[in-house]
Structure formats: structure tokens, C-alpha cells
Amino acid sequence: MPLNVLLLGPQGAGKGTQADRISAEYGIPHVATGEMLRAAIAAGTELGRTVESIVNAGELVPDDLMISLIRDRLARDDTDAGFVLDGFPRTTAQAEALDAMFNEIGRTFNVVFSLQIPDEVAFERLRRRAKVEGRADDTDDAIHRRLDNYHRETEPLIEYYRTRGNLVTIHADRSENEVFTEIQRALDHVAVTR
Ligand code: ADP
């Protein structure tokens, strides 16, 4: 049975880092919509040209574009053994579309992790990252906009998935290794019970 994992949490919670570690440890691809969009922008594809100004401003890309992007990505056969999803869904409409897709193809999430971290810590982490990575959306303005969007649009999904089961809350204001150890404990439990 495949291992389908979702990471929820604000910018700076460490979703990308933890998703990479889950991907390496469990041999499933890390599907990160932000990375996919940045790659499209860098390659100058039609999608990239459409979304560039939206992404750089820290706004959300329209649901229909994101839903078709993820539909194509999850149709690829490298996800047969599962995947770790990071950055999607980000709105209730996206979550409902994903449910519909999952129903069609007979999938569910084995675990949904909610990585929790205070906004001040998230903000400081993003400012530090801005100096290292130079992402176009790591300006103070865009960081604020992204965190605002997170609280307004994405945070309600924690309740959405809590009511559907399999939600595991993780305190992410700790070291990378401590967070990963807790994630692993939950995933190893799933691995024996699924
Ligand atoms: P972060 O979580 O730090 O904001 P991401 O790399 O996950 O960074 O996403 C970067 C940007 O890509 C977002 O600010 C948004 O513009 C766009 N994006 C990524 N995923 C989605 C999504 N599911 N829905 C709408 N926009 C998205």
C-alpha cells in the first residue's frame, strides 16, 4: 500500500526540509508546488509567465491552475508508492478538489502532519533564509502577505483534515532532528498498521 503524506504548516515551519528527509527515508517523491512553480518561472514556460508576478508578490496562484498542476503531477508513475505533498492544498477549494481526485483513483492520506510554530519564529526564520537563498518572495512585504494568506486560507485545513482523521500535530519550533524523529515515529506506526 502506498504511503501518502501531507505536510501542513506556515512558511518557515520547515515543511520543505522535513519533506526532503521523509522522501529520502521512505523512498517517495517530494511534491512541492512552490518548487514546481519556481521551476516553471525559471524555464519561462507559459505557466511560469502566467504566475511569476503572483508568486513574487506572495499571493496565491488561482485554484484552477494549481489543481491541474497537481493532477498532472500525481498522475506520474513515480508516485505509485506514495508521495509527500508540501504546498498543496492551500485553500478549501484545493482540498475539496484533491479529495475528488483521490476518490477517483482510490487514494487517501495515510498521515497529515500539522507543523506548528509561532509567527514570530516563522518570520525570523524566513528573514534568515532570505539572506541565504535570495528568493524573490522573501521580502518583508511578501513574507507578511504569505503568512496572512496562510492564516486566512490554509490554517482552516487543519480542522478539515482533523475531522477526516490521521492528523498528527508536531511542534516545529525545535531542531530539525527532533522534529524528524517525531515524524518518523508517526510514519513508522503507519507503516506497520497500513
Ligand atoms: P512558502 O510556503 O514559503 O510561501 P512555497 O514554495 O510553498 O513557499 O510557495 C511559494 C509560492 O508559490 C506561494 O507564495 C504561492 O504564490 C505559490 N503557490 C505554491 N503552492 C500554491 C498553492 N497550492 N496554491 C496557490 N499558490 C501556490
- Domain ranges within the chain, ordered by starting residue: 3-193
Within 8 A by CB and 6+ apart from 192, the residues are none
User: Is residue 158 helix, strand or coil?
Assistant: helix
Q: Is 73 in the pocket of ligand 1 (CB under 6 A)?
A: no
Among the four given CATH numbers 1.20.58.100, 3.40.50.10470, 3.40.50.300, 1.20.150.20, the one describing domain 3-193: 3.40.50.300
For the stretch 85-104, pLDDT in tens is 999 999 999 999 999 999 99
Q: C-alpha cell of 156?
A: 482552516
pLDDT of residue 1: 82
Question: What pLDDT does residue 165 have?
Answer: 83
Residue ranges for the chain with pLDDT beneath 70: 191-194
* Nearest one of 134, 109, 155 to 11, comparing CA atoms: 155
- For the Cβ of 126 lying below 6 angstroms from any atom of ligand 1, the answer is no
Choose one of 6, 61, 96 to mutate for the ligand 1 pocket test, by most ligand atoms within 8 angstroms of C-beta.
Answer: 61
Closest CA to 60 of 36, 16, 91, 21: 91
Instruction: Confirm or reject: Cβ of 182 under 6 Å from ligand 1.
Output: no
Cα 7 from chain centre: 5
CA dihedral sign of residues 100, 186, 13, 26: negative
Q: By the 8 A CB rule, do 167 and 108 touch?
A: no
Query: Is 107:4 a contact under the CB 8 Å cutoff?
Result: yes
pLDDT of residue 192: 64
